[in-house]
Structure 1
Amino acid sequence: MTFDELAEASGLARQTLLNLSAGRFYGDLKTWAILAKTWDVSLDDLIAPIWDD
């Protein structure tokens, strides 16, 4: 999925997604919940890799 496609599917700004990807912005709970819903995964599954490291 491209950043443009993700922006369109999620309603988040493309620049927000680019900043998240580059680590310049960490997002808030709402941002991550939107991404989880967009990708049809649970919020727990989306953030699990953070805790697994």
Structure 2
Amino acid sequence: MSYDQLANRSGLTRTTLMNVAHGRYHGDLRTWLRLSKAWQISLDELLAPVWEGKAGEKAK
């Protein structure tokens, strides 16, 4: 999916999406809810890799 397509589906701007993708912006809850809806996945599924990474760091 292109940035333009995702922007249309999510209601977020292309600039916001690019900033999130490049780590310049982390977004807020609304950003992540819009992305999960656009991709038709749950918020838990979308954020699972973030939490799995954090859990792995604590275990070390």
Whether TM-score is above 0.5 comes out as yes
Q: Percent identity?
A: 53
Distance 1:43 1:51 in 2: 12
Moved segments of 4+, more than 2 Å: none
TM-score of the pair, normalised by structure 1 = 0.96
Q: Does 1:48 align with 2:48?
A: yes
Shift of 1:8: 0.9
User: Which runs of 5 or more residues in structure 2 are unaligned?
Assistant: 54-60
Number of matched pairs: 53
TM-score of the pair, normalised by structure 2 = 0.85
Shift of 1:52: 1.1
Greater Rg by CA: 2
